[in-house]
């Protein structure tokens, strides 16, 4: 792959002009853009994301203008790797992106549209925290071009929120959800289950509270203890596996009765409201990630590359100034591509067309035919449908199914 040095001295991977006419280039997966904003008012004890508490717990501690400048410079450095490709969706995540002002989000999105062709009507999602809720801010984000809001509620119960170390209370969560629905309409509410001391009825109270706002999309995540978190060092008393399973089944059944489809492991949506950005991830599409600690997965003729930006915000800002935003840039081993593909695709209830395995890995489907056959024999995958699709049993034992493709 050719490269050239930027004005700041970084070597940039370039797609040759001739490759644009190459049939492999035309067959590249859809491309999404992810933007990471790493700051939060406080680090939650269960969170293992690349997020950092603001010094002094004040929005004034966020270098908003300098960080947006850095994001724009980061994007410009990445342009040769995605030149000529359209952006299908944009997701601004964190951290807590709603710490940034509507003016900053407006400047960011305008800069993106000035540098990349964004498809008309593209889904543009911004994550928000009820602890940073102001109705005027939500209206400002909508005016800036955000057309989908993902609100990190986690629970509508004050005791649960205290146990999770959240900075907002149930009343704030309700006010934020109500305003989000009025302003955006296209809203996702993020909630968690199997919380400390939680039983099925307690979880269903959260479900009923969420349904009272009629959001078109709901995400329910199983609280798990992750390494390098406060909960890992001081674990809270969580429900056992049997109770957690009972909770999850009660949530799925209640949402199904309310007209939501459980289309992905943790995601439930009304018809037409599945998250397009996340669907691209699960279908092994491409994504360019900019911002501190952002990941990218980009396809080039003959290879798939993964990139990682510098994680620490201060280091990221320094590296951007030096023109070297990438901490890692590696080609995915071809032997690892089948597992990476299946790790994502098998999360979807509908699976994916079998044909896109070859399109997005560059490998023949025969490479995994024996493993697919073994999964079908065990009742974990559907046979002969033209889809790579888990059965209900496969969805229940998803980790076991995914791990079959490690070899």
pLDDT of 57 over the 80 cut: no
Rounded CA separation 1/20 (Å): 14
Helix axes 313-322, 64-82, angle to 10 degrees: 60
Question: Which residue is associated with the tokens 């996340």?
Answer: 278
Q: What is the mean pLDDT of residues 98-119?
A: 97
Q: Is the pLDDT of residue 15 over 50?
A: no
- Specify the pLDDT at position 12: 34
Q: Which contiguous run of DSSP H or E holds residue 157?
A: none
* Start-to-end CA span in the chain (Å): 29
DSSP state, 390? B
Judge whether residue 8 has pLDDT over 70.
Answer: no
**pLDDT above 50: residue 364:** yes
193, 250 in Cβ contact below 8 A? no
Rounded CA gap, 106 and 109, in Å?
Answer: 5
> Which residue in the block uniquely carries the two structure tokens 């949506």?
269
Give the whole-angstrom CA distance, residue 380 versus residue 253.
21
Query: How much is the mean pLDDT over the chain?
Result: 91
Strand partners, 192: 221
**What six digits make up the tokens of 311?**
């994680």
pLDDT of 125 > 50? The answer is: yes
**Quick one: CA dihedral 132, 136, 138, 141, positive or negative?**
negative
Please report which confidence band the pLDDT of residue 195 belongs to, taking 50, 70 and 90 as the band edges: very high
Read off the pTM.
0.91
Q: What is the mean pLDDT of residues 117-135?
A: 95
Contact between 148 and 191 under an 8 Å Cβ cutoff? The reply is no
Ordered structural domains, the chain, with CATH: 3-280 (3.20.20.70), 334-407 (1.10.10)
Where residue 59 falls among pLDDT bands split at 50, 70, 90?
low
The fraction of the chain above a pLDDT of 90, given in percent, is 83
141-155: average pLDDT? 98
- Can you say whether the dihedral through the CA atoms of 262, 267, 270, 271 is positive or negative? negative
Alpha-helix runs per DSSP H in 97-188: 102-115, 135-144, 158-163, 170-183
For residues 234, 238, 241 and 243, what is the CA-based torsion angle, rounded to 10 degrees?
A: 180
The stretch 343-372 carries a mean pLDDT of: 96
Looking only at the bridges linking them, the beta strands covering 267-269 and 217-222 are: antiparallel
Please give the order of strands across the beta sheet that includes 267-269: 261-264, 267-269, 217-222, 187-193, 148-154, 118-128, 87-94, 31-37, 286-290, 295-300, 303-309, 326-331
| pLDDT at res. 62 | 85
Under a CB-based contact definition with an 8 Å cutoff, are residues 243 and 199 in contact? yes
Predicted confidence at residue 58, as pLDDT, reads 54
Label residue 233 exposed, middle or buried (CB < 10 Å: 0-12, 13-18, 19+).
Answer: exposed
């Amino acid at each position: 792959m050719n490269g050239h040095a930027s004005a700041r001295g970084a070597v940039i991977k370039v797609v040759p002009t001739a490759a644009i006419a190459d049939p492999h280039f035309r067959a590249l997966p859809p491309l999404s853009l992810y933007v990471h904003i790493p700051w939060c008012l406080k680090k939650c004890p269960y969170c293992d994301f690349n997020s950092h508490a603001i010094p002094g717990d004040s929005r004034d501690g966020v270098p908003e203008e300098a960080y947006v400048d850095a994001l724009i410079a980061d994007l410009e450095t990445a342009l040769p790797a995605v030149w000529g490709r359209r952006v299908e969706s944009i997701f601004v995540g964190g951290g807590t992106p709603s710490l940034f002002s509507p003016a900053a989000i407006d400047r960011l999105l305008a800069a993106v549209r000035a540098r990349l062709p964004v498809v008309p009507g593209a889904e543009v999602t911004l994550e928000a925290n009820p602890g940073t809720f102001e109705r005027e801010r939500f209206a400002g984000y909508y005016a800036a071009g955000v057309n989908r809001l993902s609100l990190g509620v986690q629970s509508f119960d004050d005791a649960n929120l205290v146990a999770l170390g959240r900075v907002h209370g149930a009343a704030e969560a309700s006010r934020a959800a109500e305003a989000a629905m009025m302003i955006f309409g296209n809203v996702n509410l993020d909630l968690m289950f199997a919380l400390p001391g939680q039983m099925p009825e307690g979880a269903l109270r959260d479900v009923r509270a969420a349904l009272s706002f009629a959001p078109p999309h709901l995400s329910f995540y199983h609280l798990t203890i992750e390494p390098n978190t406060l909960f890992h060092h001081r674990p809270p008393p969580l429900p056992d596996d049997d109770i957690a399973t009972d909770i999850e089944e009660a949530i799925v059944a209640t949402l199904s009765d309310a007209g939501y489809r459980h289309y992905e492991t943790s995601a439930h949506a009304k018809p037409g409201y599945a998250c397009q950005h996340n669907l691209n991830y699960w279908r092994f599409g491409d994504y360019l990630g900019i911002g501190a600690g952002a990941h990218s997965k980009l396809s080039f003729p003959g290879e798939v590359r993964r990139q990682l930006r510098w994680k620490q915000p201060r280091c990221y800002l320094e590296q951007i100034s030096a023109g070297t935003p990438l901490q890692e840039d590696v080609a995915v081993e071809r032997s690892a591509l089948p597992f990476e593909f299946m790790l994502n695709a098998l999360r979807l209830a509908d699976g994916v067309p079998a044909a896109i395995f070859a399109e997005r890995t560059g490998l023949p489907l025969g490479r995994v035919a024996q493993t697919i056959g073994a999964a079908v024999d065990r009742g974990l995958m559907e046979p002969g449908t033209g889809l790579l699709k888990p059965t209900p049993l496969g969805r229940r034992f998803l980790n076991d199914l995914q791990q079959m493709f490690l070899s």
